[in-house]
A = this chain, B = another copy of it.
Amino acid sequence: MNNKIADKQEIVVGVDIGGTNTALGIMDSNNKILFEDSFFTLPENGVEDFFFRLANIIKKEYINLSQSYILAGIGLAAPSANYLNGTIESPANLKWGNVNLIEMMKKYFDLPVAILNDANAAALGEHAFGAARYMKNFIVLTLGTGLGSGIFIDGHLLHGENGLAGELGHTIIDPEGRQCTCGRKGCLETYVSAIGIKRSVFHFLCNSDEKGELRNISYNELTSKKISELARSHDPIAIKAFNYTGEIFGKALANVVTYFNPEAIILFGGLADSDDLLSDPTKFYFEKYLLNIYKDKVKILKSELQNGKAAVLGACFFVHDIITKSTISV
């Protein structure tokens, strides 16, 4: 019996908890994904309900795998997650308040459970499996509803005193600018995010007099996907909104380079996938505002991992790293 257990290969679970969807994967010790799934987070049903459903999916799949494998740990990626104390700190799109997710998960599994910020998980995913392989200095920016960031410098994920370093979305670019959910004005993510570009469309609907389909769509109906489609079909306001977003983003990234001196910046998430609508103006203004010594030297890349997968892989990598205490420092 003991031999049988000893023969079993260790596997880990990685979970990426988002405001709308939750993705999970099971990875073996050769970094092979054995199982992938996603389901609706339904945060409005509460955090207890969420973990009940998550645990059931993991248990069900683990029963299928348990002949050959043994579950060694679970890594959770979530917005506003603090790896130091295991909590999420009132993320706007979950509304669960301050909850200790490690304790929630341990109710179902008596195993090592680790938690990290979703953007940090994406950075680790890119480092282990994606565009940042072999890089010691890079930054991952996740362009979703908000703007997340994971900073990996000198071979380490940056954490800071409270595990909250690198919240680039909440750097203020204009103290008199757009109202942010954080209570302040002019945070970068009020301009550079799915909601940011939507707000920019309404800026141009107000300030320009160009016609087009966007004048028939309400704020609540409009999506960043729709803005991409219209920009591709040459809608002038949609194009202006992308260029404006790219200008602000490029300027901000030039400063980011001055702070961190990365080899590359990796863009991730829906807006980053919108062909070159965003990346072209971003790169133009990035180069324009870069400090001379960095010009043409810092790459802006797209994620090499499928949508949503980087954070799941990063969460697997993170917990696997903690279990095995490998040399890669997180």
Most buried by B among A89, A154, A165, A259: A259
Closest Cβ of chain B to A317, distance in Å, is: 18
Contact of A292 among B183, B259, B262 (CB under 8 A): B183
Contact of A171 among B136, B161, B167, B259 (CB under 8 A): B259
A136 and B164 contact, CB distance less than 8 A: no
Category for how many chain A residues contact B = 35 or more
A159 at the interface (CB under 8 A from B): yes
Please determine whether B182 and A255 come into contact, CB atoms closer than 8 angstroms. Answer: no
A172 near B137 with CB under 8 A, answer no
What are the residues of chain B within 8 A of A166 when measuring CB–CB?
259-261
Q: Do residues B255 and A171 form an inter-chain contact, with CB atoms below 8 A?
A: yes
Number of copies: 2
Identify which of A156, A163, A263 gathers the most chain B CB atoms within 10 Å of its CB: A156
Of B153, B255, B263, which is within 8 A of A158 by CB? B153
Please provide the chain A residues from 124 to 181 with a CB less than 8 Å away from any CB of chain B in the complex.
136-137, 153-154, 156, 158-168, 170-172, 175
Q: How would you classify the secondary structure of chain A's contact residues: helix, strand, loop or mixed?
A: loop
A161→B262 contact, CB < 8 A: yes
- Contacts A258-B170, A291-B182; A154 near B164 (Cβ below 8 A): no
Let me know if B154 and A159 touch, CB within 8 A: yes
Contact A158 B260 (CB under 8 A): yes
Contacts of A289 on B, CB cut-off 8 Å? 172, 175, 184
A251 to B254, CA, bound (A): 18
Q: Which of B160, B167, B251 contacts A153 (CB 8 A)?
A: B160
Contacts of A175 in B (CB 8 A): 251, 289
A6 within 8 A of B: no
Report A79 CB to chain B, min CB distance, Å: 14
Of all chain B residues, the one with the shortest Cβ separation from A159 is: B154
The answer to whether A161 touches B136 (Cβ under 8 A) is yes
Instruction: State which residues 251-280 of A face B: CB under 8 Å.
Output: 251, 254-255, 258-263
Q: A261 contacts B161, CB within 8 Å?
A: yes
Q: What is the minimal beta-carbon distance from A137 to any residue of chain B, in angstroms? A: 4
Residues on the B chain within 8 Å of A263, using CB: 161
Shortest Cβ distance from residue A148 to the other chain B in the assembled complex, whole angstroms = 13
Q: Which 8 A-B pairs have the closest CB atoms?
A: A160-B261, A165-B261, A137-B161, A171-B255, A161-B263, A164-B261, A171-B258, A167-B258
Query: Could you show 8 A-B contacts with beta carbons less than 8 Å apart?
Result: A154-B158, A156-B156, A160-B262, A165-B260, A171-B255, A171-B259, A172-B289, A259-B259
Could you list which residues of chain A lie within 8 angstroms of chain B, going by C-beta atoms? 89, 136-137, 153-154, 156, 158-168, 170-172, 175, 182-184, 251, 254-255, 258-263, 289, 291-293
